[in-house]
Structure 1
Amino acid sequence: MKRLRTLLTGALGLALATAGFLMAPPQQEAAASDNGLSVRPAMGWSSWSFVRRWPTEAKMKAQADALVSSGLKDHGYVYINLDDFYQKCDSNGFVVDQYGRWAVDEAKFPSGIKALADYIHSKGLKFGFYVTPGIAKNAVTRNTPIEGTSYRAKDIADTSRQEKNYNCKNMYYIDYSKPGSQEFVNSWARQFASWGVDYLKIDGVGSHDIPDVRAWDKALRASGRPINYALSNNLAIADAPTWRQLANSWRTQGDVECYCGSGPNGSGFPLTTWDKVTSRFTSAANWQQYAGPGGWNDLDSLEIGNGDQVGLTADQRRSHMTLWAMAASPLLLGTDLTALTATDKAMLTNDRLIAVNQDGVAAKRIVNSSPKQVWSKREAGGDYIVALFNTGTSGNQTVSVNWSQVGFSGAAAVTDLWSGQSGGTVNGSYSVTLRPGETRLIRATPQSGTTVRYEAENASYIAGSTVDTDHGGFSGTGFVNTPNAAGAYVEWTVESATARDAALTIRYANGTTAGRPMDVSVNGTVVSAGRAFNGTGAWTTWADSSLTVPLKAGANTVRVTATTANGAPNLDCIDRG
């Protein structure tokens, strides 16, 4: 049964709701960081996978040189990110400067971090850096001053608790209720900005570190330099709205590296395994709704560049990149750029794949029948991108999908995005036989006369609404259950190639005997007032309400708004003819 909800109390609340002031954003557009950065997923290289615990100035410069000379920079890979183990340690943890901030190991970086950043910038690239939450034990022991204040390290440290740190350890929590705590983080962020940092990864973050995440967000905004803000790793999905509000990306799982190489601490090749990659399929599906411009689900490093020795076959590497592209994950390479293979360079510079990653849309999983998976997303121009996978390690698999599952009906012109070859016009459904670990990535362009489906769970809706799955028969991944109140609404953005009158079908369920009328408006004008959405007999019985509406060329706003205290019926989707 449709759950009863209180939208707002009192006449003022109802007036605000009716006026539309309480809109929940689309799920894939959950409230994002407004720092203006990472409008599209970051692309570049990070030191952790290959360089691991032994970064040096020379190694970082060599990778930057290779990023440029290989042509990767010309395809959008611009970040060179220095990860952990650049710091200097003693028996008590991190050596610190006069203001309690980590000291850089001069033996590894004799010219200093600013000089390294300057070199990277001279190549037309951007420089990334690394930190973890907390304040170093040595800062507290020395009781170092906090730059620009009368406070000292002991004033802000909670010495009863130690933060997670993977290198020198010995990091205390910061008590953000104490004056001087925000100022300490601010001083660190100012130092990074003065060095020319363009990207900051804060590692070892858990839900208990939300105060640190907030403090760093505030500090970076005040630093005087735009700095892309990344969180790591294995963050809790329960706090996804917080990560998205504060940061530009967040790691959804632990490391993709297998730590199974022959070198110290499992370094060296192989860098990863197919199991490590395929574990990302489920997390990408679970986190999909939180990705969008300004904030991205980070599936970790892209281990493509050094051929089979990274631990993946060529088919598996193409699938690896396909999933990262479909999920709109940052594309941060982990391999040795000074030793790129021709096969892998061709993968990494495939502009059709890069465009799928950079379109700003995270795909949904629409078929999950192990080892067969299908993912799809609709781009702003109206095309659909569809990825079909065989995630198994043995045996060919025939993977199929109906266009109605993708979001339209009729015929589509198909292009294979890995090869660039046309697949002709395909009617009704698409099918392909795939080798173990192989993928097929296609662009499907609906042809004239097709019907395009817009799911309610991808729409905007009034606050207090939920996306539910407890009544079967819906399409997509759920239906929208709004509050029971006048003014409750769902709003879609509907595309049209031309200005025209178009058929629109609203799919709904009303398990009560009372009608739930709604106004239907297009671009702010009511085109059907008090339209009847009568009882369908059960919440699992879905019905269609069809009408013709005027659409302009381009994007159109279609809203359905409840006109009585009964609220709206459960809303599944609209189909545009």
Structure 2
Amino acid sequence: METIARKQHALTPTPPMGWNSFDCYGCAASEQVLLENLEVMAERLKNAGYNYFVVDNGWFAEYEIEPGHRFPTAKHALDVRIDEYGRYLPSHCYFPKGLQPLIDRTHELGLKFGIHIMRGISRKAVEENLPIFGTPYRAADIANTADTCVWCHYNYGIDMDKPGSQEFYNAWIGQLADWGVDFIKADDITGFPREIEAIVKAIEKCGRDIVLSLSPGGQTVLEQIDTYSLANMLRTTKDVWDNQRDIDRAFDKWLEFNDVRQEGFWLDMDMIPFGHLSVWRPEEKQQAESIVSSQEELFSGKGRERMSGLNRSQMLTFITMRALAASPLFMGGALPTTDEFSFELLTNPDMIACNQNGVMGTRVYHNEGIEAWSTRKKESLNEGWIGIFNRTGEMKSVEITLQELSLPHAPGTLLRNIWEEPAMNYDGTQIETQIDANGVLYIHFIGEK
């Protein structure tokens, strides 16, 4: 598998960048809203390096949609669409022409198309005991009906000891490759290393370059890192949303996985919850008789339709953390209705240069709620980026020397305040600043040559 891993990693020499539909449309993204977002992505994000357009879960689900509504009022559909070999097909309710027009338009715009898949085989295929393409085996022969996902009921896990199991994955991934898929987000899989290996083998066999992202972070354990690193991206966090608790969780995972660094294999802190979120759960649905408060937690995503709940300081911290950690950058908000400040942060050239430098930063200082994380520019001993984070809930005055930050501390070291906020006083050896609660001072440094 080492040769396969090298080949996979060559597809992602820098952290992948793109857009994912989950934070704004949950499991109910239609062709219409996807095409709208695709056009804005090409216009607003492509030139900054964002190139993967990813459709998340539910694209195969046949929802019952109430008259006058664009989105369903239930988390899961009662039926899914599959072909005669048990492989998912795009739903009639949201993709009456199939996915091909969307995939083709993605490629026409010079972007790459990504899709979400759940580990395993659909329960419907097992109930109908459909044949596995190219084999004498059937769905019931390979399914482990005791293996189910607690948050998405569509599939059973696959028993990889059963004949026909690898062949099913080969046929499934091969079909996606034939459609023109460039990126796969495989979900409910980080706890199942043998099925990761099966998908990696299927990608190798399919004849198309496909980037593989593994989710979710809640199942991710360091003991399986050798298997995880066969892919291109690995979720380290649970779902990350627009609140301080999830920012803190991302910091914790950054520290926990800090020694796991490989070229072409990127630790993923989940999507960026900026802009317009949870669009598929509009406020007026709260008044619908079919929805009661006790059911709200059953929906995909988190919270009702809103603009991101992160304040300015939290947003600066969030995107600075992603840059310094070399985490993949995948915007999660609905692009046509996202605010300008979010676009400014997402496309900031300094932030992107730091992220695409592809070197995961390390923590070099922590004291009384102030943390500093630093990353060096590749092939340079005296240039890089540093973030001084206020991890507390109150404004902090900070006085800190370059030596304490492990920065080049010759008198000629140059510092540039990337966000231009907060204000920074620098005398050549020491930094003085006041950082807002949960805020950051983000610096590009160049030492004296």
Larger mean CA deviation between 326-335 and 403-412 belongs to: 403-412
Distance in 2 between residues matched to 1:119 and 1:335, nearest whole Å: 20
Distance in 2 between residues matched to 1:390 and 1:404, nearest whole Å: 16
Distance in 2 between residues matched to 1:426 and 1:354, nearest whole Å: 28
2:216 corresponds to: 233
For residues 387-420 of structure 1, give each alpha carbon's deviation from its aligned partner in whole angstroms, at most 9, with x where no partner exists. Answer: 1111323233426353354254423111122249
Native 8 Å contact 1:133 1:202 kept in 2: yes
Distance in 2 between residues matched to 1:40 and 1:399, nearest whole Å: 34
2:175 corresponds to: 191
Query: Radius of gyration: which is bigger?
Result: 1
1:203 corresponds to: 187
In the alignment, which of 269, 274, 298 is matched to residue 304 of structure 1?
Answer: 274
Distance in 2 between residues matched to 1:426 and 1:408, nearest whole Å: 14
* Cα distance change, pair 205–369 in 1 and its aligned pair in 2 (3 A): farther
Distance in 1 between residues matched to 2:366 and 2:225, nearest whole Å: 26
State the Cα distance separating 1:292 from its structure 2 match: 3.6
Secondary structure, aligned partner of 1:213: helix
The amino acid of 1:231's aligned partner reads L
Native 8 Å contact 1:397 1:436 kept in 2: no
State the Cα distance separating 1:50 from its structure 2 match: 0.8
1:61 corresponds to: 35
For residues 527-557 of structure 1, give each alpha carbon's deviation from its aligned partner in whole angstroms, at most 9, with x where no partner exists. Answer: xxxxxxxxxxxxxxxxxxxxxxxxxxxxxxx
The amino acid of 2:444's aligned partner reads R
Distance in 1 between residues matched to 2:132 and 2:374, nearest whole Å: 50
Secondary structure, aligned partner of 1:111: coil
Q: Which runs of 5 or more structure 1 residues have no equivalent in the other structure? A: 1-30, 258-271, 449-577
The amino acid of 1:279's aligned partner reads R
1:390 corresponds to: 390
Is 1:115–2:101 an aligned residue pair?
yes
* Cα distance change, pair 401–152 in 1 and its aligned pair in 2 (3 A): farther
Distance in 2 between residues matched to 1:66 and 1:52, nearest whole Å: 19
The amino acid of 1:202's aligned partner reads A
Secondary structure, aligned partner of 1:418: coil
Distance in 1 between residues matched to 2:51 and 2:201, nearest whole Å: 25
- TM-score, with length taken from structure 1: 0.65
Native 8 Å contact 1:33 1:247 kept in 2: no
State the Cα distance separating 1:440 from its structure 2 match: 1.2
In the alignment, which of 156, 163, 187 is matched to residue 179 of structure 1?
Answer: 163
In the alignment, which of 254, 258, 265 is matched to residue 288 of structure 1?
Answer: 258
Native 8 Å contact 1:389 1:399 kept in 2: no
2:23 corresponds to: 49
Native 8 Å contact 1:139 1:153 kept in 2: yes
Note the 1:112-511 alignment, pairs <5 A: 112-159=98-145, 161-164=146-149, 166-167=151-152, 169-207=153-191, 209-234=192-217, 235-257=219-241, 272-306=242-276, 309-380=307-378, 381-382=380-381, 383-398=383-398, 400-403=400-403, 405-406=405-406, 408-411=408-411, 412-419=413-420, 427-448=428-449
Report % sequence identity.
Answer: 29
State the Cα distance separating 1:432 from its structure 2 match: 2.4
2:299 corresponds to: none
Secondary structure, aligned partner of 1:151: coil
Structure in which a larger fraction of residues adopt helix: 2
Secondary structure, aligned partner of 1:430: strand
Secondary structure, aligned partner of 2:172: helix
Secondary structure, aligned partner of 1:50: helix
State the Cα distance separating 1:150 from its structure 2 match: 2.1
Distance in 1 between residues matched to 2:244 and 2:78, nearest whole Å: 39
Distance in 2 between residues matched to 1:34 and 1:415, nearest whole Å: 38
For residues 80-119 of structure 1, give each alpha carbon's deviation from its aligned partner in whole angstroms, at most 9, with x where no partner exists. Answer: 1100111235988644210111232111011212221111
State the Cα distance separating 1:336 from its structure 2 match: 1.5
Distance in 2 between residues matched to 1:32 and 1:377, nearest whole Å: 25
Secondary structure, aligned partner of 2:259: helix
What is the total number of aligned residue pairs between the two structures? 400
For residues 123-144 of structure 1, give each alpha carbon's deviation from its aligned partner in whole angstroms, at most 9, with x where no partner exists. Answer: 1111110111111222122221
Distance in 2 between residues matched to 1:194 and 1:312, nearest whole Å: 40
* Cα distance change, pair 434–290 in 1 and its aligned pair in 2 (3 A): same
Distance in 1 between residues matched to 2:221 and 2:261, nearest whole Å: 12
Distance in 2 between residues matched to 1:52 and 1:427, nearest whole Å: 49
* Cα distance change, pair 218–340 in 1 and its aligned pair in 2 (3 A): same
* Cα distance change, pair 376–142 in 1 and its aligned pair in 2 (3 A): same
2:70 corresponds to: none
Distance in 2 between residues matched to 1:140 and 1:89, nearest whole Å: 18
Native 8 Å contact 2:239 2:270 kept in 1: yes
Native 8 Å contact 2:425 2:433 kept in 1: no
Native 8 Å contact 1:237 1:287 kept in 2: no
The amino acid of 1:59's aligned partner reads V
Native 8 Å contact 2:196 2:228 kept in 1: no
The amino acid of 1:359's aligned partner reads N
State the Cα distance separating 1:345 from its structure 2 match: 1.8
The amino acid of 1:445's aligned partner reads I
Native 8 Å contact 2:182 2:211 kept in 1: yes
Distance in 2 between residues matched to 1:178 and 1:195, nearest whole Å: 28
Distance in 2 between residues matched to 1:279 and 1:40, nearest whole Å: 24
State the Cα distance separating 1:32 from its structure 2 match: 6.0
Note the 1:5-24 alignment, pairs <5 A: none
Secondary structure, aligned partner of 1:406: coil
- TM-score, with length taken from structure 2: 0.83
Q: Which runs of 5 or more structure 2 residues have no equivalent in the other structure? A: 64-76, 278-305
2:47 corresponds to: 74
Structure in which a larger fraction of residues adopt strand: 1
Secondary structure, aligned partner of 1:246: coil
Distance in 2 between residues matched to 1:154 and 1:80, nearest whole Å: 34
Distance in 2 between residues matched to 1:318 and 1:217, nearest whole Å: 36
State the Cα distance separating 1:73 from its structure 2 match: 0.8
1:37 corresponds to: 11
State the Cα distance separating 1:274 from its structure 2 match: 2.0
Distance in 2 between residues matched to 1:370 and 1:304, nearest whole Å: 29
Distance in 1 between residues matched to 2:79 and 2:336, nearest whole Å: 33
Distance in 2 between residues matched to 1:283 and 1:334, nearest whole Å: 20
Distance in 2 between residues matched to 1:154 and 1:252, nearest whole Å: 33
State the Cα distance separating 1:243 from its structure 2 match: 4.4
Native 8 Å contact 1:352 1:418 kept in 2: no
Distance in 1 between residues matched to 2:397 and 2:148, nearest whole Å: 47
Distance in 1 between residues matched to 2:119 and 2:422, nearest whole Å: 49
Native 8 Å contact 1:200 1:227 kept in 2: yes
